[in-house]
Amino acid sequence: MKYAVRTAKVIAAALGLAAIAAPALAQQGLDEPFQKPFKEALAGKTVAYVPVAMNFDLTEGWYAGMKKELEPLGVKFEIRDPNWNTNAGAQAVTSLISEKPAVMVIHNPDVQTYAKLLQRAENEGIYVIQINMGSAYRSSAFVGANWIEIGEKDTEAVVKACQGKSNKIAIVQGALSAAASAYTLKGVENVLAKHPEIKVVSSQAADWDAAKAKAITQTVLKQNPDLCGIVGFWDGMDIGTAAAVKEAGLTGKVFVATSGGGERKGACELVKSGAFDLNLSYDVPTQAAQMAGTIKWLLSSGAKAGSIKGSEYTTLIPITKENADSQTSCWNLSDLKK
Amino acid sequence: MKRFRFNQQEIVFAVFAVLFLAFSIFLRGFLTPENMLTLLQNVAVLGILGLAMALVVIGRGIDISLIAALAVPPGLVLQMVQNGHSLPASLLTAVLLTIAFGLVNGWLIAYAEVPSLFATLATGLLLAGLGQAALFQLDVVQWSDGMQGFERLGQGTILGVPTSIVMFAIACVVVAFLLRQTRWGAYIYAIGDNPYAARVTGIPSRPIIVLQYVVAAQIGCFAGLVMAASVNSMPTRVFNSTLIYDVILVVVLGGIGLSGGRGGVLNVIIGTLLIGTMLNGMTIMDISYAGQNLVKGVVLLLAVITDSFLNPRNEETAQQGDI
């Protein structure tokens, strides 16, 4: 009994001592063993960015977002702007392979052109991250929108809006050579296969061009004034589609669904004005943050380029009248550049 | 014996008539007043650009930089208003920029004697590059609240006629007046027909050439404003498109020879109508993109082949500088 009490006393004293000693230990600080190698893995590395072109909301947004995340870590961020020229893009990628940056961030103009080059780059030990528009070659990472899902969701919304109406819809595609356009069309077809009552009165390519989209839509609306919905493939082009609907006096009667990067002027404000009924946003700032995150992860992992492959499909933000006013639905390029 | 000969203008008009008739008979919903207006509305901007190109081509030049004049100054208007400047100030800046641009073009061609094809190719790139690098934040410049009311230039109707058609009509009248009723217009024809003879007879050919390019750029800017108003934005990327070929197509198809000195506003209207009818009919038929290109190519080839078959070229008809 006496022994037990003594033991208890010793334990209590030990605990007390520990309680006094603990803060003293904490004041010493504890080294987190992984941050230093992380910093070393990133500092002085070069990340090369090859979009299809600069000067539009998506690529400017990605650039600003990645730069903001990576430059403070001492990463050199380089840009090669092919300005819509596929050949110039392929040349940029080729010359980059010999310059050996640590990471290449590639925005493909189509599925085939860069595919072989990207494979060569990864064989040379360069991590390749493909963004928003992928190629036939699967590289270390893909970060971007799931176009099939966009086609499906837009079409589902249009089909729903058409219930009890004429069931006539039109499709305004982008450029035929673009994977984004072809994949979106597949998504549209997936939904239409389930809805045989829907009649597609027009499915034409407007080459991402607002004026062409407007011309096509005007003609289609004159032929089918009872049209109940339009699936558009990009908001920058569908501003023309919406203008045609508005001129025909059918705003609100024809459901216009489209998709885009969610920049405020191009997305939220047009939904607010009634031009678009649904704009699926792939939220460029979040995409940019995911791209930067992937770059950090890859560089600090030390994994061999091409040995691991994964995808990060973007969670879409459906912008409708309900959330178009919200501060978080859209983003401003000027804020991202700060 | 005088043989009756068709010229290019008549051939194209015949092709247009046949197409129009075929569409009217076989295509339900083609020959309605609404569709006719849509048809015209869809090619109004192309038509206005065609007028600018015609003016230059008649004077034996070519203006490849027209699309830059269409995209950059109107884009600047939208961008300036977006940045908080007033609409009149922005419009004035754009007009001044366009005049300066036309003067550079004209000076290079008339005084530095650079061939118009190369001069305008370079200046067009320069202006588009300037816009992209220094003037615009994004290549699609969006409409902003300050532009309120200006969209009426390209949207809505005047007395039941869509505004862009009215704008095309106004441009036609202005250019027709300039070409047919003024001394300057007569000089342009004279220079186009034979620049050396024109100079010998005392026509101030260099200033007239400068004037041509200034007016053409101004018309291009006007077309751009109509286009921006009609789609509520200025997609300045249009510079990279093949629009300039369509413009040349309208002019050549309409029967304005690239060798200069011939043709007029009527030719542009005919060329525009043919393109408009083809595009409209094919959109109604929901022909695929590839199919549309095929049809466009075939019709064009037919027009060109028929012309060279009916009007064979020889030393007498061929002119120096003929393309």
- The CATH number assigned to the domain holding B47 equals 1.10.3470
Query: What pLDDT, on a 0 to 100 scale, did the predictor assign at position A131?
Result: 95
- List, for residues B30-73, the tens digit of each pLDDT value: 888 888 888 998 899 999 999 999 999 999 899 999 999 999 99
B140: part of which helix (H) or strand (E)?
strand B140-142
**Are the C-beta atoms of residues A311 and A142 closer than 8 Å to each other?**
yes
The per-residue pLDDT for A55 is 83
- Asked whether residue A20 is assigned to any structural domain, the reply reads no
pLDDT score recorded for residue A161: 94
DSSP code, position B158: E
What average pLDDT does this structure show over A172-177? 87
How far, in Å, CA of A116 to CA of B90, rounded? 48
Query: Does B142 contact A at CB distance below 8 Å?
Result: yes
Q: Report how many domains make up chain A.
A: 2
- Locate all alpha helices (DSSP H) within B182-242, ordered by sequence: 183-193, 195-200, 205-231
Residue B162 maps to a domain = yes
If you average pLDDT over residues A5-13, what whole number do you get? 61
pLDDT the model gives residue B2: 47
| C-alpha triplet A39, A45, A49: angle, nearest 5° | 125
Residue at B318 is within a domain = no
CB contact under 8 A, B241 and A209: yes
Whether residue A215 has pLDDT greater than 60: yes
If phi over 0 gives left and psi between -120 and 50 gives alpha, with beta otherwise, what is residue A224? beta
Does some domain include residue B312? no
pLDDT at position B146 is 85
A23-27, A302-306, A316-320: least confident range: A23-27
pLDDT of residue A10: 60
CA distance A240 to chain B (A): 5
**For residue B259, what pLDDT band results from cuts at 50, 70 and 90?**
confident
Which residue has better confidence, A30 or B210? Answer: B210
In this structure, of A302-311, B17-26, B241-250, B293-302, the range with the lowest mean pLDDT score is B293-302
pLDDT of B244 > 50? The answer is yes
* Residue B319 lies inside a defined structural domain of this protein: no
What pLDDT sits at residue A2?
56
Whether residue A114 is found in the same domain as residue A210: no
From chain B, the residues in CB contact with A211 under 8 A are 45, 227, 230-231, 235, 238
Q: Which range among A23-37, A148-162, B139-153, B309-323 shows the weakest confidence by mean pLDDT?
A: B309-323
Which CATH number belongs to the domain containing residue A169 in this structure? Answer: 3.40.50.2300
Q: Kindly state whether residue A14 falls inside one of the protein's structural domains.
A: no
| Residue with token string 């120096």 | B320
- Domain membership of residue B55 (yes or no) is yes
Summarize the confidence of residues B277-301 as an average pLDDT: 84
Q: Looking at per-residue confidence, does B132 or B96 come out higher?
A: B96
Q: Checking phi first, is residue A131 left (phi over 0); if not, alpha (psi -120 to 50) or beta?
A: beta
Residues 268-297 of A with CB under 8 A from B: 269, 275
Mean model confidence pLDDT for chain A: 90
Of A53, A57, A209, the CB nearest to B235: A209
Question: Could you tell me how many residues make up chain B?
Answer: 323
**DSSP conformation class of B3:** P
Q: Which residues of B touch A222 (CB under 8 A)?
A: 29, 32, 34-35, 38
Q: What is the mean pLDDT of residues A215-222?
A: 92
The counts of H helices and E strands in chain B are 12, 4
Mean pLDDT of all residues in A242-253: 91
pLDDT at B305: 76
**Does pLDDT of A115 surpass 80?**
yes
B29 with A222: Cβ contact below 8 A = yes
- Does the structure show a pLDDT above 70 at B4? no
Q: How many domains does chain B have?
A: 1
pLDDT band, residue B121 (cuts 50/70/90):
very high
Which residues on B lie below 8 Å from A210 (Cβ)?
Answer: 140, 231, 233, 235
Whether residues A126 and A69 share a domain: the answer is yes
Q: Within this chain, do residues A49 and A140 fall inside the same structural domain, yes or no?
A: yes
- Give the tens place of pLDDT for each residue, B157-206: 888 888 999 999 999 999 999 999 999 999 999 998 888 889 899 999 99
Give whole-number Cα distances, A137 to A82, A108, A117, A127, B140, in Å. 20, 11, 9, 13, 31
Which chain A residue's Cα is nearest to B162? A247
Answer yes or no: is B316 within a domain: no
Written as six digits, the tokens of A101 are: 């940056």
What is the model's pLDDT at position A22? Answer: 56
The arithmetic mean of pLDDT across residues A34-61, rounded, is 92
| Length of chain A counted residue by residue | 338
Element (H, E) at B162: strand B161-162
What is the pLDDT at residue A17? 54
Cβ pair B140:A210 closer than 8 A: yes
Is A94 domain-assigned? yes
Question: In angstroms, what separates the C-alpha of A321 from chain B's closest C-alpha?
Answer: 19
Q: What percent of chain A has pLDDT over 90?
A: 72
Residue A39 belongs to a domain: yes
> Taking all residues of chain B, what is their mean pLDDT, rounded to a whole number?
87
Q: Are residues A252 and A126 in the same domain?
A: no
Say yes or no: B41 contacts chain A, CB-CB below 8 A.
yes
Does residue B307 surpass a pLDDT of 60? yes
Q: Using the predicted structure, report yes or no on whether residue B245 has a pLDDT greater than 90.
A: no
Q: Which of B12-26, B86-100, B243-257 has maximum average pLDDT?
A: B86-100
Instruction: Tell me which residues of chain A, numbers 48 to 107, contact chain B at a CB-CB cutoff of 8 Å.
Output: 53, 55-57, 60, 83-84
Supply the pLDDT for residue B306: 72
pLDDT at A233 over 50: yes
- CA B142, B242, A207 angle in degrees (round to 5)? 55
Residue A156 reports pLDDT greater than 80: yes
Partner residue facing A57 (CB), from B32, B138, B289: B138
Identity of the amino acid at A83? N
Of A84, A216, A239, the CB nearest to B283: A216
Cross-chain residue pair B231–A203, CB shorter than 8 Å: no
Note whether A77 and A123 are same-domain residues: yes
Which uninterrupted H or E stretch holds B70? Answer: helix B66-82
pLDDT of A13 reads 58
Q: Is the pLDDT of residue B142 over 90?
A: no
The ipTM estimated for the assembled molecules is 0.76
The answer to the question of residue A13 being in a domain is no
Residues A214, B230: C-beta atoms closer than 8 Å:
yes
Selected for mutation to probe chain A from B48, B232, B292, B293 (highest A CB count within 10 Å) is: B232
Q: Residue A184: inside a domain, yes or no?
A: yes
Q: Assess if residue B322 is contained within a domain.
A: no
What would the pLDDT profile of A93-108 be if each residue is shown by its tens digit?
A: 999 999 999 999 999 9
Mean pLDDT of A244-262: 92
Partner-chain residue, chosen from B38, B241, B288, that has the shortest CB–CB distance to A222: B38
d(CA B210, CA B55): 12
CA distance A122 to chain B (A): 32
Tell whether B105 lies on the interface with A, counting CB pairs under 8 A.
Answer: no
Instruction: Flag whether pLDDT at A21 surpasses 70.
Output: no
- Interhelix angle B265-284/B33-58, rounded to 10 degrees, is 140
Is the pLDDT assigned to residue B323 strictly greater than 60?
Answer: no
Share of chain A above pLDDT 70, in %: 92
Mutual orientation of helices B116-130 and B87-106 as an angle, nearest 10°?
150
pLDDT at B1: 44
Backbone angles phi, psi at B203, to 5 degrees: -75, 130
Task: Supply the DSSP symbol for B83.
Answer: T
Is residue A116 located within the same domain as residue A158? no
Q: What are phi and psi of A143, to 5 degrees?
A: -125, 120
The answer to the question of residue B4 being in a domain is no
**A78 and A181 within one domain:** no
Domain range enclosing B180: 9-307
Average pLDDT over residues A58-73: 93
Given a cut of 60, whether residue B319 has pLDDT beyond it is no
User: Contact A285/A335 with Cβ under 8 angstroms?
Assistant: no
pLDDT band for position A76 (cuts 50, 70, 90) = very high
**pLDDT average, residue stretch A178-201:** 93
Chain A environment of B235 (Cβ under 8 Å): 209-211, 236
In a domain, A133, yes or no: yes
Domain range holding A273?
A: 147-281
Same domain assignment for residues A255 and A299: no
Return d(Cα A186, Cα A188) in angstroms, integer: 5
Positive or negative: CA dihedral B189, B190, B194, B199: negative
Kindly state whether residues A161 and A246 are assigned to the same domain. Answer: yes
d(Cα B162, Cα B233) in Å, to the nearest integer? 18
In a domain, A314, yes or no: no
